[in-house]
């Protein structure tokens, strides 16, 4: 059963140009619908500026959508009673990208972990606190409770941030680039940690990342995000091993590998990144190596394989003007 | 534990130690003026007016025969009281308006910032003279006038810090966990602006001390109580300043300058000590 459901979620920002006459509308999130079943990890993969963080902030209830809805466990996050929303916020936690900014420098680890409990009127129990620290690999936990963030390494801080999200036993976690600020040597163990917490507590998670290899490693399903829209979505293996959308292919080809590029290296030229976005139609078409006339219309989603959706005219996406 | 560590660090800071020594010396002067003054500062002596410096009157006497050293020692009281109290008023108003303005933003911010602009642009001394004249003399009036007219720079500094702090992920995390605005302002934002606030409070004290002296010199406020500005004013009105009676004007001038300098040194030391910590704790 799906626990999180996004329905046609949109967030538009108005940008006032200097002349004040012309207003630009930035469609940061432009009609996203997806459902995440209980216990699954769903990754949102996209480049910077694609709107994936805006999406995560809406799911965590930090930003009100322009339209559409976020429904968690049957409760609409923005159209329910206050009490219900309070409860909902308790069961959604967020892990931020930058462990140097996500912990208050004036709080001790103990205060950081107690905060979500107190704010949500949950009992603060010493045993829980120490257990949670132990679970995220901060052992012995007694050594950490009295420390301030500046006395911890970046990896330890991120463990504290994960512990803060875990301590209220949430049903759903939004992890916004949880490993991108960590040393590469530490990423593997963090992803393992996330997987082990999922296994133990059955937590459902939405992970936001720009790195498709990380997404492939941890997630069950992947949504590829481009300019506020999901352009491809499917099981992690399907999307990574049989990428359909030209953008997905470009993302996968851009992953550096150990094999030196000569043999198969120049299969595809890299997609240019410094071209302006088109005003209409498929947003990727100015960069797309396979752009065609049909791309002047917005492509609809096509199911090219079971539960594998692509929004691209190459796959007969029905045009919507 | 953390507090004493910071205090020790403060004492090891050269500026901090020097500033603290200066302020401590003047505080001692103010508290013990009745015991260390050689004469009663208000007892006149028709036989001994306008004396030049001598062993019995190190700074000489004024036109009424009052001992100037004694008056200079007593003068520390008013300067410290007005300086600290007016700065307290200014910092309190500036802190609250800055927090509210930066945190809530929008129309509230717009309105508060336009008021701040007004207070920064108007020549404060002129307004103070007018308002103080309307309110009449009295220590509390002087404190209020200086305090209410010098909170604007504090508000602006605090607001700019709040603007960046309120977007920090640790604030968002509290908000996502049902943390209310008041909670976030006092638990998360205030502690992170406090270091800058303390530094600015010290600077506010020094400017209040100067303003008080200037007001008294200009004849605003209670000119009969003993203060450094008042002593210089008396030297000016009796013509001693033009006559070049240095022992009358130079000591209070040096005292004003030194005490202000002491608070400025403390302010700089506070910021120096707190800032690397803030940088270490903020975004990298």
Phi/psi-derived region of residue B119, left when phi > 0, alpha when psi is between -120 and 50, beta in every other case: alpha
Residue A9 CB coordination number (10 Å): 23
Q: Reply yes or no on whether the pLDDT at A269 is more than 50.
A: yes
CB contact residues (below 8 A), chain A span 116-135, against chain B: 116, 119-120
pLDDT, tens digit (0-9, with 9 covering 90-100), for A40-56? 999 999 988 888 999 99
Q: Please, which pLDDT band fits residue B282 given cuts at 50, 70 and 90?
A: very low
Q: How far is CA A26 from CA A13, A23, A128, A185, A227, in A?
A: 5, 10, 44, 37, 9
Beta bridge partners of A235: A221
CA A119 to CA A99: how far, in whole Å? 21
- Do residues B124 and B131 lie in contact, with contact meaning Cβ atoms separated by under 8 Å? no
Contact A150 B277 (CB under 8 A): yes
CA A197 to CA A135: how far, in whole Å? 8
Q: Reply yes or no on whether the pLDDT at A265 is more than 90.
A: no
CA A57 to CA A87: how far, in whole Å? 17
- Cβ-based contacts of B166 with chain A (< 8 Å): none
Is the ipTM of this structure higher than 0.90? Answer: no
| The pLDDT of residue B8 | 87
pLDDT, tens digit (0-9, with 9 covering 90-100), for A150-165? 899 999 999 999 999 9
- Cβ-based contacts of B168 with chain A (< 8 Å): 101-102
Selected for mutation to probe chain B from A81, A82, A101 (highest B CB count within 10 Å) is: A101
Residue of B178, B179, B281 lying closest to A105 (CB–CB):
B281
Q: Please, which pLDDT band fits residue B284 given cuts at 50, 70 and 90?
A: very low
CA A286 to CA B267: how far, in whole Å? 56
- Do residues B273 and B16 lie in contact, with contact meaning Cβ atoms separated by under 8 Å? yes
- Cβ-based contacts of B167 with chain A (< 8 Å): none
Selected for mutation to probe chain A from B5, B168, B169 (highest A CB count within 10 Å) is: B169
Mean pLDDT of B14-29: 95
Contacts of A25 (CB under 8 A, 6+ apart): A12, A13, A14, A15
Record the tokens describing residue B43, joined without a space: 């007892």
Record the tokens describing residue B167, joined without a space: 């977007």
Comparing C-alpha atoms, which of A97, A76, A102, A99 is closest to residue A88?
Answer: A76
Q: pTM for the complete prediction? A: 0.82
Mean pLDDT of B137-161: 93
Q: Is some CB atom of chain A closer than 8 A to the CB atom of B172?
A: yes
Comparing C-alpha atoms, which of A62, A53, A98 is closest to residue A209?
Answer: A53
Kindly report whether the peptide bond that precedes residue A140 is cis, defined as omega within 30 degrees of 0: yes
- Residue for token digits 């992690």? A236
Contact A119 B179 (CB under 8 A): yes
């Amino acid at each position: 059963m799906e626990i999180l459901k996004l329905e046609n979620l949109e967030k538009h920002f108005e940008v006032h140009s200097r002349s004040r006459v012309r207003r630009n509308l930035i469609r940061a999130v432009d009609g996203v619908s997806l459902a995440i079943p209980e216990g699954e990890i769903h990754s949102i993969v996209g480049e910077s500026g694609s709107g994936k963080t805006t999406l995560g902030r809406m799911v965590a209830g930090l930003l009100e959508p322009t339209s559409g809805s976020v429904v968690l466990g049957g409760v609409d996050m923005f159209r329910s009673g206050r009490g219900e929303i309070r409860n909902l916020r308790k069961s959604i936690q967020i892990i931020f990208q930058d462990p140097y900014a996500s912990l208050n420098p004036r709080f001790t680890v103990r205060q950081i972990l107690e905060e979500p409990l107190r704010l949500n009127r949950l009992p603060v129990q010493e045993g829980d606190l120490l257990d949670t620290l132990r679970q995220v690999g901060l052992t012995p936990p007694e050594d950490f409770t009295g420390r301030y963030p500046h006395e911890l390494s970046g990896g330890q801080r991120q463990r504290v941030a994960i512990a803060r999200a875990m301590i209220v036993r949430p049903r759903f976690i939004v992890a916004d680039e949880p490993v991108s600020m960590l040393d590469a040597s530490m990423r593997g163990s963090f992803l393992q940690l996330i997987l082990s917490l999922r296994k133990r507590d059955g937590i459902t998670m939405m992970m936001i990342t720009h790195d498709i290899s990380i997404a492939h490693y941890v997630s069950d399903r992947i949504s590829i995000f481009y300019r506020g829209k999901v352009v491809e979505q499917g099981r992690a293996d399907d999307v990574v091993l049989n990428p359909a959308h030209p953008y997905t292919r470009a993302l996968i080809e851009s992953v550096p590998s150990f094999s030196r590029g000569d043999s198969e290296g120049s299969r595809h030229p890299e997609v240019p990144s410094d071209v302006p976005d088109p005003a209409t139609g498929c947003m990727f078409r100015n960069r797309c190596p396979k752009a065609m006339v049909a791309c002047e219309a917005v492509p609809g989603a096509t199911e090219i394989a079971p539960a594998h959706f692509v929004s691209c005219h190459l796959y007969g996406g029905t045009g919507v003007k | 534990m953390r507090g004493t560590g910071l205090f020790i660090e403060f004492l090891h800071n050269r500026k901090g130690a020097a500033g603290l020594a200066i302020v401590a010396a003047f505080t001692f002067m103010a508290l013990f003026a009745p015991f260390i003054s050689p004469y009663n500062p208000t007892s006149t002596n028709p036989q001994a007016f306008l004396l030049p410096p001598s062993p019995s009157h190190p700074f000489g006497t004024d036109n009424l025969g009052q001992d100037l050293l004694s008056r200079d020692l007593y003068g520390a009281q008013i300067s410290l009281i007005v300086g600290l109290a007016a700065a307290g008023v200014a910092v309190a108003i500036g802190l609250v308006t800055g927090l509210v303005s930066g945190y809530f933003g929008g129309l509230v911010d717009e309105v508060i910032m336009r008021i701040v602009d007004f207070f920064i642009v108007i020549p404060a001394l002129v307004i103070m003279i007018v308002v103080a004249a309307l309110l009449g003399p009295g220590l509390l009036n002087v404190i209020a006038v200086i305090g209410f007219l010098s909170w604007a720079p504090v508000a602006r500094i605090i607001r700019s810090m709040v603007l960046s702090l309120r977007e920090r992920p640790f604030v968002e995390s509290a908000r996502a966990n049902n943390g209310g605005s008041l909670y976030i302002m006092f638990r998360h934002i205030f502690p992170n602006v406090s270091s800058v606030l303390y530094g600015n409070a010290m600077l506010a004290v020094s400017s209040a001390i100067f303003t008080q002296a200037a007001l008294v010199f200009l004849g605003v406020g209670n000119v009969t109580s003993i203060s450094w500005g008042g002593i210089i004013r008396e030297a000016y009105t009796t013509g001693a300043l033009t006559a070049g009676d240095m022992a009358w004007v130079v000591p209070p001038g040096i005292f004003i300058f030194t005490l202000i300098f002491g608070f400025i040194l403390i302010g700089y030391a506070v910021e120096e000590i707190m800032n690397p910590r803030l940088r270490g704790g903020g975004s990298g």
